[in-house]
Amino acid sequence: MPHKKKLALFPQFKGSSDPEPFYFEKMAAKWGYRNIAGIDEAGRGPLAGPVVAAAVVLPEGVNLEGITDSKKMTEVARNRAFNHLVKSGVWMGIGVASHEEIDQVNILNATLQAMKRAVASLPVEAGFLLVDGINPVPLNIPQKCIKKGDRLCQSISAASVIAKVYRDRIMYSYHERYPVYGFDKNKGYGTREHMGAIRRLGPCPVHRLTFKGVC
């Protein structure tokens, strides 16, 4: 098994420019790892709803043209990319931490729990994790955290799309139950209209009560 500290450096990438496609996946594979999973989440900032994480293992030769950080894609493009990923046969796992769990353990810990669940729900055992951000997933699996990984790493970009589309669909379902808050448009984020509805009516059962502006 390769030395984890050496692997974590990824020495050929200095961060001054974007790496070549699949750089991080190729480097992990070079060290002998298989089933390399990109991990990302959606929904850390909203005032309502869950945080959703996705883990994605890409098959060799998959075409990810047009797929990048989900925040830089339109909703139409994200949905198209989501369907493409599903049809391409990527291995994916999804993990969810509810608004209640977020209030109980805080958003960071809830996010890491969602990531753990996403990895656990993969149809294959992950051999290495490429994680968006700076916080490692609390699992005994070799991994590397990558700042702006949803832009720099292909499997993380794919995970960002999966997590975002899945969470948006949850928020659409909440909109049907609580239409006055406009979850179909704001997805739980604190827009002016959303904040106005909270001030008039108070929070609904899917709001995060520990978040500023909700109570």
State the pLDDT at residue 17. 65
- Mean pLDDT over 17-46 rounds to 92
State the pLDDT at residue 65. 79
State the pLDDT at residue 164. 97
CA dist., res. 145 & res. 9, Å (int) = 10
All domains in the chain, ordered by first residue: 20-168 (3.30.420.10)
Please determine, for residue 4, whether its predicted confidence score (pLDDT) is greater than 50.
no
3-state class of 25 per DSSP?
helix
State the pLDDT at residue 5. 44
pLDDT per residue as tens digits for the range 106-162: 999 999 999 999 999 999 999 999 999 999 999 999 999 999 999 999 999 999 999
Please determine, for residue 208, whether its predicted confidence score (pLDDT) is greater than 90.
yes
What is the rounded average pLDDT for all residues in the chain?
Answer: 91
- pLDDT bin (cut points 50, 70, 90) of residue 28 is very high
State the pLDDT at residue 15. 58
Please determine, for residue 168, whether its predicted confidence score (pLDDT) is greater than 60.
yes
Please determine, for residue 84, whether its predicted confidence score (pLDDT) is greater than 80.
yes
In the β-sheet with 36-42, what is the strand arrangement from edge to edge? 91-97, 51-57, 36-42, 128-132, 143-146
State the pLDDT at residue 124. 97
Please enumerate in sequence order all residues whose Cβ is within 8 A of that of 52, keeping only pairs 6 or more positions apart, or say none.
41, 42, 43, 94, 95, 96, 114, 163, 164, 166, 167, 170
State the pLDDT at residue 71. 87
